[in-house]
Amino acid sequence: MAKEKGTHILVELWGCPPKLLDDITFMRKLFKKSCKVSGLKSLWMKFHKFQPQGLTGIALLATSHISIHSWPEYSYATLDIYACDKKEKVVKAVEVFIQELKPKRVKKKTLRRGFVVTNL
């Protein structure tokens, strides 16, 4: 029997307000809100601001990670949330990012990860 170990959602966001995608303080608060609302537990977060624009952020979760990479000049960002936790938590975390980043277009791909064969 195989048992699923996690949910991994890859998201592309087009048409986001460039100011939001370039605001490291906003992004830090957004990561914290996403974890709080979804119930995912963040262990630490790290952000890097590029010059002249853009940022990368990552949160190490107790059950995996959240990462984002932004290109404000294109109103574009990529989001990656993976957790070995309830699928609903990962979905809720993604919803918070979409709600706050206000994209005009979203593409999501959900992967079911970590199938471990237990009856070899």
- Residues labelled catalytic: 64, 69, 84
Beta strands 42-49 and 55-61 are antiparallel
**From the CB of residue 9, how many other CB atoms can be counted at a distance below 10 Å?**
19
Task: Give the span between the Cα atoms of 4 and 120, in whole angstroms.
Answer: 16
Q: What single DSSP character describes residue 102?
A: -
